[in-house]
Structure 1
Amino acid sequence: MRLIGYARVSTAEQDLAAQRAALEAAGCAEIVEETASGADPGRPALGRLLARIGRGDTLVVARLDRLARSLAHLLAVIAQLQARGVGFRSLSDPIDTAGPSGTLVLQILGAVAEFERALIRERTRAGLAAARARGRRGGNPGLVARDPAAIARLARAREDARLARALPAAETWLGPVRCLRPTTPWPEVARTVNAGLPPGALTLSVARLKRLARSFVCHGLLDAAVLTPARRRGRAGGRFRAIELAAAAYLRGRPDATLAELGAALLRLGVRPPRGGAAWAPASLKRLRDRGRMVGLTGVPPASSPLPAGRVPRG
């Protein structure tokens, strides 16, 4: 288990030494440092750390305010980490998701956040009713006046809320998008992503997948190159890569699936054998399964004789 520290200060005049010393004393072999405001949603160092931290690792901070700009943001980030099997620890706060007490504190924080939202809703309704009784027009004065600064603040708030909703499920689509774009068209990327979704989950449309990718690009969590149009060169190779990832994504959620079940799932997704035909050959499916194990996408240890790099399964 790796302990990875994250240290942040708001300005260049502030010193990271105290945070660095605390994280080193806690046993962090790696410390990611950043100079950025806590209110900035596009902190690139934090975004890259959250994107690469893996199962079994633990993210460690000196204080909660070094990581999150609000309680809602904190809970969203921790939900994303827990969904990927990553632990979280704050050295100055009684929060450590590896133990029951830390989990209890998180549950209490979640209840407090919901209580706070309920109070805000109640106060807002009461304030609007009182304003109407005095004959005042409701709404944000800046938005009513079409103030550019107020409109920009609203747009940032909406984007932050959209990102908070998208973070917990990001691992279901972020990997395929990074691997396949921009060499592979969005429809094939969407099929690859949907192959790995758990049974009963809502599939992602091409439009929805593009919106998520644009949001992550805006926050520095994804390379902007994924949004460029798909290149014509290497399109066939991109399609084969999409087939490999679709098979690997399916097997990640169903590691005990038979080759027949894998072939049926690919056909349901509209993924046909590269050379045509109505059904996948067992040998091709076995090569797809071994290729997925080799690249570590299925959650199953690699086979003893994996498919060599660059080989394309034949249908």
Structure 2
Amino acid sequence: MILGYARVSTVEQNLDRQLDALTKAGAEEIIQEKITGTKADRPELNRLLDKLRPNDVVLVMDLTRLSRSTKDLFNLVEQIEKKGANIKSLKESWLDTTTPQGKLMFTFMAGISQFERDLISQRTREGLEAARARGRKGGRRPKLDQAKKKAIYDLYSQKKTPLKDICDMFGITKPTLYKAVDEMSKKASA
């Protein structure tokens, strides 16, 4: 079965152009959704994925209707392939896992994407190692305990010590200072 998936981001937008293209391309059933593509939970897309059977084809007008990121796309294609189904895009002809050439192209694109993620990870590790060699630590700073938060609040409330000096004393950033002050002022007023 050929299952079409049509999506627009807002209720005001119209699905007609997608519906016409998917019908013309042979979609036997079209799942429609009006929700932003950045949402991880898209009920109608989930319904389509649950419906898939071996040899079904998910047909989309273009990849932006299906996903907003490469990572999301690869996850969706993996879910589709686990069901024994295929995916085909009308706009991106290279995405057609119903053909050996399409599978090759998708595998190639997935490989490039994985290579890019690995390079980013490698550069991050190298940057952290270089920072450590210079005496700096990477990662999150330890959480402030209540005694330090109280001291920060007291210094801030006295309005005698510059914010930068308070931050330097405790090894924190201004947002962390404001968060501690906000938390302690709520406790003081309770």
- Give the TM bin, normalised by the shorter chain: 0.5 to 0.7
Matches within 5 A, 1:1-315: 2-93=1-92, 94-133=94-133, 135-140=135-140
TM-score using structure 1 length:
0.42
Which structure has the larger Rg over C-alpha atoms?
A: 2
Deviations 1:160-205 (A, max 9, x none): xxxxxxxxxxxxxxxxxxxxxxxxxxxxxxxxxxxxxxxxxxxxxx
Structure 1 residue 132, shift from structure 2 partner: 3.2
- 2:20 is paired with a residue whose SS is helix
Taking the aligned partners of 1:133 and 1:5, their CA distance within structure 2 comes to: 54
How many residues are paired up?
145
CA distance in 2, matches of 1:70, 1:49: 19
Report SS of the residue matched to 1:95: coil
Cα offset for 1:57? 1.5
> How many Å apart are 1:65 and its aligned residue?
1.9
* Structure 2: distance between partners of 1:60 and 1:16: 15
Structure 1 gap ranges (5+) = 148-315
Aligned to 2:180: none
Q: Please tell me the residue identity of whatever aligns with 2:3.
A: I
- Aligned-residue identity in percent: 42
Amino acid at match of 1:77: L
Question: Quick one: distance in 1 between partners of 2:140 and 2:116?
Answer: 21
Backbone CA RMSD of aligned residues? 2.4
CA distance in 1, matches of 2:37, 2:131: 34
3-state SS of paired residue (2:40): coil
Q: TM-score, normalised by structure 2?
A: 0.67
Instruction: Please give the alpha-carbon distance, in whole angstroms, between the structure 1 residues aligned to 2:100 and 2:30.
Output: 26
Q: Which amino acid aligns with 1:88?
A: I
Instruction: State the alpha-carbon separation in 1 of the partners of residues 128 and 13 from structure 2.
Output: 42
Contact 1:11 1:37 in 2 (8 A): yes
- Tell me, in whole angstroms, the C-alpha distance in 2 between the residues paired with 1:95 and 1:55: 18
Cα distance in structure 1, aligned partners of 2:26 and 2:129: 55
Deviations 1:20-79 (A, max 9, x none): 121111111211111122221111110111011212211000111211232222222222
For 1:133 and 1:10, how far apart are their aligned partners in 2?
Answer: 47
Distance 1:33 1:140 in 2: 42
- Residues 68-99 of structure 1 deviation map (CA, whole Å, 9 limit, x = unaligned): 23222222222222222212101111211111
Task: Give 1:103 shift.
Answer: 0.6
Over 3 Å counting, the alpha-carbon distance change for 1:133 and 1:86 in structure 2 is same
CA deviations over 1:257-290 (Å, ceiling 9, x no partner): xxxxxxxxxxxxxxxxxxxxxxxxxxxxxxxxxx
Partner amino acid, structure 1, of 2:101: S
Q: Letter of the 1:132 partner, please give it.
A: R
DSSP 3-state at the match of 2:104: helix
The CA distance in 2 between the partners of 1:37 and 1:138, in whole Å, is 35
Residue aligned with 1:96, SS: coil
Per the TM alignment, residue 5 of structure 1 is displaced from its structure 2 partner at its CA by 0.5
AA aligned to 2:60 is V
Structure 2 unpaired stretches of 5+: 145-171, 177-190
CA distance in 2, matches of 1:23, 1:32: 11
